[in-house]
Structure 1
Amino acid sequence: MRFANSAAGQLRLPPLSPLPAFEATARLGSMTLAAEELGRTHSAISRQIKALEEALGLELLDRGTAPLGLTAAGKTLYATARMAFEALDSCMGQLRPAQGGETVTLAIGSSFATRWLVPRLPRFYALHPEISLRLTMVGASILEVDDYDLVTSWNRLGYNLPDDQAFHVLGDVSFALVCAPHYRFRLEAGRLLAETQLVGRWPITIQPSYRDHPLVVPIAERTLGFPHIHMCIEAAVGGLGVTLVETRLAQPELADGRLIAPLGVLTVEGGLVAFPHRRREPKAATRKLLAWLKAEAGADQPQSALRYDV
C-alpha cells in the first residue's frame, strides 16, 4: 500500500499510533505481555496490530508460533521501529532536566519480578537511593536489542545465548511439583499422577538430563495453560491442579502450608543467573545491582527438602 502523496519534505508514514503495540509485541513475543507493559487490553493490542497490517497491506506477525514470531516484513519493521524508539528515548533523556543518580534497566520475567524481586526492592533502595531501577518484562528477543543493562533469570535455558555471552551465577535453583494439600493425587513408582497439570505460556526449561525426571514431570490427564507462572501458583492454591515451580516463586505458600511439594525438590546448582549487555561494559550502577542480587540470592537459597508424607 502506498500512502497519500506528500508535500516536499513531508514523510509518507503509516499510522503511527499502533507502532508501540507492535514493537512491544515483537519484543516480548506476546500480545498479553505487550498489553501488560502498555496498560492496555489484549484485544486493543490485537486491533492496533491488525490496523497496522491493513495499512501496510502486509502480515507482520506469524501467529502460528508460540511465542509469536515475525514475518520477514515484521522483522524489518521491528528493527527500524526499535532503532527509532531508542533514538527518541535517548533524545528525551538528554532533553529532560538532570535528576541526579543513574538508571539501570533490568530485564526480568514477570513472575520472577512479581514473586521474588519486587518484595525485596525496599532493601535495594535503602542501600542505593541514588539508583533508579527500571524494570522491563523480558522475552528472549531482549538480547537482540539494546534496551537493558542486566538480565536476570532462573530459567537460563529458555534463552538462545550467544557463545560470547558472559553470565554471573547468583545461586542455585530448586524445582518442585506443587499442589494444594487437599488436592487429590496419587504416587506410583515415584511418579506423581494427577488429573490436571497447570502450565505457563512458556514452560519452564530445565537441563536436558532432567526433562523426564519424576520430580518435575507429572503424569496428568489434561493440561490447563495460563499466561504466567504466578497464575499457575494461584490456581494450584485453589486446588485446580499440580504445577511445576521454582521454589522461590512459591515460598510463601510452601512455608504456610497452602502448597505442598509431595516429591520434594530437584536442585540445579548455579541455575539462577544474571547476564549483562554483551556489547558494552557494565556501568557502576549495574555492578551495584548485580552485587545486591548476588547477596539477596545467596541469603535466599532454596530449601533442599520439602516433602509431604502421603
Structure 2
Amino acid sequence: MTIGPAMPSSSSALLARLPSMRLMLAFDVSARHLNLVRAAEELGITQGALSRQIRALEDHLGVRLFERHARGLRFTQEGELLYDFTQRGFETLGAGIGRLTLQAERQTLVLSVARSFALRVLIPRLAGFTDTHPHIHLSLDIHRYFADIASSGVDVSIRLGGGDWQDCHALRLTRDRIVPVCAPSIRDQLRNPAARTRVPLLRNIERDDPSLQADGLGGILSGGLRIDFNDSASMLAAAEASLGVAISRSSLVADAESAGRLVRLTSWEACDGQDYYAVCTERAYRKPAVKAFLDWVASQAPS
C-alpha cells in the first residue's frame, strides 16, 4: 500500500497563507498615518525599509493595498478592508496580552485589622489605596482579637499595643491621646448642672481604664449612669447618636471631630502608652504589596 503525503490541516494551511506579524504591523501603522514618513518614524525604521515591507505584503497577498501620491498614501478597496481587520485584530491581541500581564502582576494582600480601627480609620480612606494600586487584591479580616501572623496567612496585622512584638516588623501608625467626647447636643445639655445626672457614661468594658475615665470626666457626670459596650466602634457610634459621653482614643474620633459629629467635652487628655501599629513578619515585609501598603497607611492614619 502506498502512503501519500499527509493532507495539510486547516490550521497549517492558514499559517501558510498568513504574512508575518512584522509585515502586518508595518501595514497597520502605515494605514493609520497614511504617510510613510510618520509611519517609519513610529516604527523606528527608514522610509525605504517600510516601503519594502509594504511591497512584500502586497506580493504575499497578491493585491495592492495603497495608492501612492505626492501627499501620502490612499487606500485601495482591498487595503481599506484589510485595515478594518488589522485594527480589530491588534486591539483584541493587545487586550488579551494586557489581561494576562495584569493577572500575572496581581498580588493578594491579606490584612487583619482591629475592628474599631477598620471602621473608624481604615475603611473611610481605603479607596485611596485601591485607586493607586489596582493590581493589589485586598482581603480584610476584621477582628476584635490579635491574629497570629506567623501561622494565619495574614500579611499585615493592624493592632493596638506597645510595639513590642517579638520577631516582627512593627510600624507605629498613631500617637494616641485619651480624650472625652460627645455629640454637640450633649455638650450643650451639660452646661446645665441639672442635666449632669441624666447623661450616661459610654464605656468599652474591654478597653477602658476606670481611672482615666474618672480623670477625663472630672465630675461632670454626677448621676452614675452607664452604658457598657464591648468595642469602641459601637460605643462611638452611640456617642455620635447623642446617647452619652465617651472616653476614647484620639485616632478613632479624629474624623468625627473634623466633621462636627463629635466634640471634646473638656480640654483634658492623657496617654496610656498604647498606639495602633501595622505589624508583619520580616518575610512578609519583603513583599512589594506589603511595602506599598505600609507606605500608604503610615501617611493616612490620624493621631
TM-score tier after normalising by the smaller chain length: 0.5 to 0.7
TM-superposed deviation, 1:270: 8.1
CA gap 1:295/1:182 in 2 versus in 1, 3 angstroms: closer
Work out whether 1:151 is the aligned partner of 2:157: yes
- 2:285 & 2:260 partners in 1: Cα distance? 44
- 1:104 & 1:179 partners in 2: Cα distance? 36
Checking the alignment, whether the CA contact within 8 Å between 2:182 and 2:244 is kept in structure 1 is: yes
Q: Of 114, 126, 134, which residue of structure 2 is paired with 1:121?
A: 126
Checking the alignment, whether the CA contact within 8 Å between 2:240 and 2:261 is kept in structure 1 is: yes
Deviations 1:198-238 (A, max 9, x none): 123532579xxx85772378766132123432221221123
| 2:252 equivalent in structure 1 | 249
CA gap 1:177/1:246 in 2 versus in 1, 3 angstroms: same
Q: How does 1:13-24 map to 2 (within 5 A)?
A: none
CA gap 1:278/1:193 in 2 versus in 1, 3 angstroms: farther
Q: Of 272, 295, 300, which residue of structure 2 is paired with 1:296?
A: 300
Aligned residue for 1:172, secondary structure, equals coil
Give the unaligned 5+ runs of structure 2: 1-102
Aligned residue for 1:240, secondary structure, equals coil
Q: Say which one has the larger Rg.
A: 2
Work out whether 1:275 is the aligned partner of 2:279: yes
Q: Of 130, 136, 139, which residue of structure 1 is paired with 2:135?
A: 130
Mean Cα deviation higher: 259-268 or 116-125: 259-268
Aligned amino acid, residue 156 of structure 2: L
Aligned residue for 1:143, secondary structure, equals coil
Give the unaligned 5+ runs of structure 1: 1-97, 303-310
TM-superposed deviation, 1:255: 2.5
- 1:242 & 1:113 partners in 2: Cα distance? 22
TM-superposed deviation, 1:251: 2.9
Normalised to the residue count of structure 2, the TM-score between the two structures is 0.53
| 1:200 equivalent in structure 2 | 204
| 1:181 equivalent in structure 2 | 184
Aligned residue for 1:125, secondary structure, equals helix
CA gap 1:193/1:263 in 2 versus in 1, 3 angstroms: farther
Q: How does 1:1-310 map to 2 (within 5 A)?
A: 100-143=105-148, 145-153=151-159, 155-156=160-161, 162-183=165-186, 184-185=189-190, 195-200=199-204, 202-204=206-208, 211=212, 214-215=215-216, 221-264=224-267, 265-266=269-270, 271-277=275-281, 282-297=286-301, 300=302, 302=303
- 1:133 & 1:216 partners in 2: Cα distance? 40
Aligned residue for 1:290, secondary structure, equals helix
CA gap 1:195/1:217 in 2 versus in 1, 3 angstroms: same
TM-superposed deviation, 1:104: 0.8
- 1:133 & 1:179 partners in 2: Cα distance? 34
Checking the alignment, whether the CA contact within 8 Å between 2:167 and 2:281 is kept in structure 1 is: no
**Going by fraction, where is helix more abundant, 1 or 2?**
2
Normalised to the residue count of structure 1, the TM-score between the two structures is 0.52
Aligned residue for 2:139, secondary structure, equals strand
Checking the alignment, whether the CA contact within 8 Å between 2:169 and 2:285 is kept in structure 1 is: no
Checking the alignment, whether the CA contact within 8 Å between 2:213 and 2:247 is kept in structure 1 is: no
Aligned positions, number? 193
Aligned amino acid, residue 152 of structure 1: I
| 2:35 equivalent in structure 1 | none
Checking the alignment, whether the CA contact within 8 Å between 2:172 and 2:278 is kept in structure 1 is: yes
Checking the alignment, whether the CA contact within 8 Å between 1:179 and 1:243 is kept in structure 2 is: yes
TM-superposed deviation, 1:266: 3.5
Deviations 1:87-115 (A, max 9, x none): xxxxxxxxxxx664111111112221122
Aligned amino acid, residue 178 of structure 2: F
Superposed CA RMSD in Å reads 3.6
Aligned amino acid, residue 233 of structure 1: L
Aligned residue for 2:200, secondary structure, equals strand
